[in-house]
Amino acid sequence: MTAFSFGAAAIVPTEKVLAPSDAVGLSPVGEGPMTKWNRIVLIGASTGGASAFEVLLRDLPADCPPIVFVLHMPAPHVKRFIERLDRTYDQSVLPAENGVRLLPGRVLVAPGGLHTAVHRVPDGFACVEVAGPARHGFRPSVDDLFLSAVGFAPNVLGIIMTGLGRDGAEGLRQLRSHGAITIGQDRASCTVFGMPRAAAELGAVMHMLPLSEIPRAMCRFSRTKMPGLPYDTESGIVE
């Protein structure tokens, strides 16, 4: 069963404030004005993912593309993880709770115990918490996040990072086949190369990049509306 709640009570009020020009949502491709970001970023990770995600936040701008992150982490630890990230980094880091909108500079981390999905809303995109069985033994599941966005894949940049197993591989494959740009973290920079390898074996990964290159690629790809563009790891230029 999917629970929807888009009321004000579902929005966490205490967050870092962006400049007014940045505090706007994204419109689906071809359906209205755009911010400088034309894609939302959906990320999944497991073993080693907490420290890898901190590298991303450290190297991303404060007004980064809207991010939703699923990490295989025991529920009691997720709240403290979110609070520490919000204290440490420039972005606004919040739980991905019902009705919380995806905005530039906002990083939403899936709470434990429920799946996290992303749905379209009239002025952009918002998170939805979904009650359901564990997938691949996990709740939240990376596959559930990715699969929720297949209907608007051209607005998505999907990233699969370090982790054991294959959670997220099929979801990333479907995102790519429906028009998303997809990235995998490379073997050398992974703690465990299981999840990116499983995704690559399905043909889901368009760009396999070292962790140090992913923040720059995120920003480059999130600005473009065109799928499948090459990425030069030397210059970071999308040609």
Return the exposure string of 206-225: e unless at least 16 CB atoms fall within 10 Å of the residue's CB, then b: bbbbebebbbbbbbbbbeee
* Catalytic residue selected from 63, 143, 144, 167: 167
* Catalytic residue selected from 27, 46, 92, 141: 46
- Asked about 92 being catalytic, the answer comes back as no
Long-range contacts of 12-17 (CB under 8 A, 24+ apart): 12/94, 12/95, 12/97, 12/100, 15/86, 15/92, 15/94, 15/106, 16/62, 16/86, 16/90, 16/91, 16/92, 16/105
Give the residue among 236, 215, 222, 226 at the shortest CA–CA distance from 58: 215
Q: What is the pLDDT of residue 226?
A: 63
Average pLDDT score over residue span 212-237: 74
Residue 238 has pLDDT above 60, yes or no: no
Query: pLDDT tens digits for 9-60?
Result: 222 323 443 332 233 344 444 333 345 899 999 999 999 999 999 999 999 9
Q: What is the pLDDT of residue 160?
A: 98
* Catalytic residue selected from 72, 115, 136, 207: 72
Q: What is the pTM of this model?
A: 0.83
Query: pLDDT tens digits for 125-172?
Result: 999 988 787 677 778 999 999 999 999 999 999 999 999 999 999 999
Domains of the chain, first to last: 39-223 (3.40.50.180)
Q: Find the Cα–Cα–Cα–Cα dihedral 89, 154, 34, 236, rounded to 10°.
A: 60
Q: What is the pLDDT of residue 123?
A: 85
- Asked about 46 being catalytic, the answer comes back as yes
Q: What is the pLDDT of residue 10?
A: 29
Tell me which of 67 and 24 has the higher pLDDT: 67
Q: What is the pLDDT of residue 202?
A: 97
Query: pLDDT tens digits for 76-95?
Result: 899 999 999 999 999 999 99
Residue 5 has pLDDT above 90, yes or no: no
Q: What is the pLDDT of residue 137?
A: 75
